[in-house]
Structure 1
Amino acid sequence: MRTGLHIWNYTVADGAAIPTVLEESARIAEDGGIDQLTVMDHWFQMEAMGDPAEPMLEAYTTLGFLASVTSRIRLAPLVTGVTYRHPGLLAKTVTTLDVLSRGRAVLGIGAAWYEREHHALGVPYPALKERFERLEEALQIALQMWSTNDGAYEGAHYRLAETLNSPPATSRPHPPIMIGGKGEKKTLRLAAQYAQIVNLTTSDPDQVVHLLEVLRRHCDDVGTDYDAIEKQVMANGLDRSAPDFLPTMQRLGDAGVQLAVFGVRPQTQRETAEEIVRDVVPALAAL
């Protein structure tokens, strides 16, 4: 099993040190064998995780910075809310990251949920049904912009006169699409149809087994290859020092999970990265 590092907070003792802490954490991750580096795509800190006024960087600017200080590790937002950016501009942004990182970008995307930050910054926040409709159209637009078809796109919510995207992405056939969440009816259906990576927002083995069975059924229904989709879990909630940590990870691996994502801690981002490199990466690789 492989390991991912997730930077979900930027709270440091000295705010001026944020760039240094980010750079050092990224280099620790890359040098230590971590395979994926992700960042939050929010404008405010999540209320369940801290004060919304805590520092929060814009995701793609941050990923561009991280691309400049790394050379191997895969880079992604975990995950972009479909409402945050017009899908044509989002595809252009991810393409730019992919070109400048020499093929290391991932489009991580979901239906969006943080209502407060939308209202705060004046961004429309449609009902859930419409957000999922927009998510599917955004996926279609991205795939069209990563194809040789630079013609128009006509959807219920988005209309593009041209889908010209030059230079093209470096990744072939295109940057991987990661869909995050665990909704059984819509999220996993979209993952089955469009994604190369699914990130399940749980690490409970029984729930993961169930969700992957649902994903497999959706793949069968839409005619895609279940085995070709990389399976990830968010393992932030697991106690890495607990006796059942490795048995739990073994159960997840047996279920088909290929990568586990662990988050950094506020104030000690570098130290968390070092701990994960030292204690988790070799243990998971041995499973």
Structure 2
Amino acid sequence: MPTPEFCVFTEPQQGATYDTQLAFAQQAERSGFDGFFRSDHYLKMGEHFSGEPGPTDAWTTLAGLARETTSLRLGTLVSSVTYRAPGVLAIQVAQVDQMSGGRVELGLGTGWYEAEHRAYGIPFPAKRFDLLEEQLEIVTGLWAAPRGGSFSFDGAHYQLESSPALPKPVQDQVPVIVGGAGLKRTPSLAARFATEFNIAFQPEDVVRDRWARARAACEEIDRDPATLKSTVALTTLAGANEADLAHRAAATGVELASFREDHTFSGSADEIIEQAGRLIDAGAQRIYFQLMDMSDLDHVAYIGEEVLPQLR
């Protein structure tokens, strides 16, 4: 089994400027993480975070980070199909891939946060799975179309006519992430279009079950299940002692005791090593540590220096 990868996963809509994200990403790079991934939202969630000074656009942010980091994988977990036309999204991701020297990954999902759509005038159709299926087919089709050729698509929601299918990414295949706890259609879409299937914020038994469903979906279309990366994302609080943990919990507006009862990574380095180790033994090929306080660079450093070396 290949060595697992470890990424930070952030929620900048809660209140983080580009400079805050840059400092966070550069700390993650110094601390040995493999990737920086961010949500793609335009409105803060919950009452503890102010959302000030306002949201940042995911792909604009990643374009900047592409030029100011050197080794991190960069991507979304996940972009919503409601935000962009698929042809434009394919151009944006390919351009950022060029800007990064081939380090970009695209997470794509249906979107779910209706309030942010109302807040910024973004249409929010009731049925979005068909949009996701067509967008996955278009984006991957544009990238895969041969140079000098063209790509056309005639779907129920999108039509492309003789697109030159440019620009091309640096990578021969930009990794595409599909995730979610759906029982049938999500694993099926991952098997058809994705390189990675991610489960976030779920108990271990659900994670294992959904990975199994994705593998079965691969077998149904004669795809080798080993070509679909199994990954997991969990909110994380780590610290050398209870005081550190309590301080970090308070900074994110949660009680430490309730946080530990949820589906999370929490505790000392040894505790998180044990928690993450179980998932790696179950088949996790990449783990995303969701860190909510982007001003706490010591948190990033602690995980990178005390946890990751023991998991590799």
Question: Which of 9, 12, 21 pairs up with 1:9?
Answer: 12
Pick closer, same or farther for the CA change 1:47–1:74 going to 2, 3 Å: same
Amino acid at match of 2:168: P
The answer for the alignment partner of 1:167 in structure 2 is 167
Amino acid at match of 1:279: E
Amino acid at match of 1:259: R
The answer for the alignment partner of 2:81 in structure 1 is 82
Shift of 1:269: 3.6
Unmatched tracts of structure 2, length 5 or more:
236-263
CA distance in 2, matches of 1:125, 1:183: 20
TM-score normalised according to structure 1 size: 0.89
Q: Is the 8 A contact 1:9 1:55 kept in 2?
A: no
Question: Which of 102, 124, 130 pairs up with 1:133?
Answer: 130
The answer for the alignment partner of 2:266 in structure 1 is 239
Shift of 1:107: 1.1
Deviations 1:252-279 (A, max 9, x none): 1111101111123326342222122122
The secondary structure found in structure 1 opposite 2:28 is helix
Question: Which of 238, 245, 251 pairs up with 2:278?
Answer: 251
Shift of 1:9: 2.8
Q: Is the 8 A contact 1:2 1:284 kept in 2?
A: no
Deviations 1:14-52 (A, max 9, x none): x7xx34432222122112221111111011123487456
CA distance in 1, matches of 2:97, 2:113: 27
Shift of 1:244: 4.5
Higher relative contact order (CA 8 A, sep 6+): 1
After superposition, residues 1-287 of structure 1 pair within 5 angstroms as 1-9=4-12, 18-47=17-46, 50-51=49-50, 55-127=54-126, 130-146=127-143, 147-148=145-146, 149-172=149-172, 174-202=173-201, 204-236=203-235, 237-241=264-268, 244-266=271-293, 268-285=295-312
- Percent identity over the alignment is 32
Deviating runs (4+, > 6 A) in structure 1?
Answer: none
Amino acid at match of 2:113: Y
CA distance in 2, matches of 1:111, 1:263: 20
**Pairwise CA RMSD of aligned residues?**
2.1
Amino acid at match of 1:8: E
CA distance in 2, matches of 1:162, 1:108: 26
Pick closer, same or farther for the CA change 1:81–1:11 going to 2, 3 Å: closer
Shift of 1:203: 5.2
Amino acid at match of 1:161: E
Moved more, 240-249 or 85-94: 240-249
Amino acid at match of 1:84: Y
The secondary structure found in structure 2 opposite 1:169 is coil
Unmatched tracts of structure 1, length 5 or more:
none
Deviations 1:166-198 (A, max 9, x none): 3311101x2111112221211111111110011
Amino acid at match of 1:272: H
CA distance in 2, matches of 1:51, 1:132: 31
CA distance in 1, matches of 2:159, 2:47: 36
Deviations 1:180-220 (A, max 9, x none): 22212111111111100111113532221111111111111
Relative to its length, the structure with more strand (as a share) is 2
Q: Is the 8 A contact 1:203 1:238 kept in 2?
A: no
CA distance in 2, matches of 1:7, 1:91: 23
CA distance in 2, matches of 1:229, 1:162: 31
TM-score normalised according to structure 2 size: 0.83
